[in-house]
Amino acid sequence: MVLIAGPCVIESAELLDTVAAELVRLNKKYSLDIIFKSSFDKANRTSLQSFRGPGLDKGLQMLADLKQKYGLRILTDIHEPCQAAPAGEVADVLQIPAFLCRQTDLLVAAARTGRIVNIKKAQFLSGSDMRYPVEKARQSGATDVWLTERGNSFGYNNLVVDFRNIPEMLRFTPTVIMDCTHSVQRPGAGDGFTGGDRQFIPAMALAAKAFGATGYFFEIHPDPATALSDGTNMLPLNQFEDVVKSLL
């Protein structure tokens, strides 16, 4: 079972330490290998005034320091082909954001790093459509390609999850991950920021398990109410262990 967890965006070294220490504790307690996730840049925020993160150079250095200190594997997003190589020097998994999953140059650049490539399914695609991003990455040299379900958008500030996409995408790769937090978003519904319904996160995880998901993605934060990105759909850090136990 692949488990990915961490704060949406790098806010501070203190936040990274707090979350990483909890992941290390859970890894030891349950014999897991939770991958630490955080973004050095959030390039698709709702508003120009929204916090984006520390940027490529500083953000990657913070993730590298975290990796060395805690021994955790790292996942981070890339948004442009030029970010792939430097991010691949630090991250074990390069993640392609959902809106960018058809961007050929981005997929090719990620694949050429030799790192695992995790492609999020776009909100406007079906599970069967994800065959082609997988083919692009594999034909460009990626040996391990993951897919992530995160719901479909039909406008009106809401997402709908069709869990049939999970077995559909398992036809193309053995690793299909459920993004249990982004799937409860209400995009743009917060008057300049994204809303969300975090109370449904545990159920999203269990429903995905019933449909055969082989991995789970959670954005977690010690105090989501004060988070600088995606707070309304992040899981409180002190509730994460209970969700992990339910999946085990």
Burial of 175 from C-beta contacts in 10 A (0-12 / 13-18 / 19+): middle
36-60: pLDDT as tens digits: 999 999 877 667 767 788 999 999 9
Determine how β-strand 116-120 pairs with β-strand 93-96: parallel
Q: Which residue type occupies 128?
A: S
* Model pLDDT, residue 51: 76
Distance from the first to the final alpha carbon of the chain: 9
Q: Could you tell me the domains of the chain?
A: 2-247 (3.20.20.70)
pTM of the predicted model, to two decimals?
A: 0.93
Query: What is the Cα–Cα distance from 205 to 221, expressed in whole angstroms?
Result: 17
90-143: pLDDT as tens digits: 999 999 999 999 999 999 999 999 999 999 999 999 999 999 999 999 999 999
Query: What is the Cα–Cα distance from 213 to 175, expressed in whole angstroms?
Result: 8
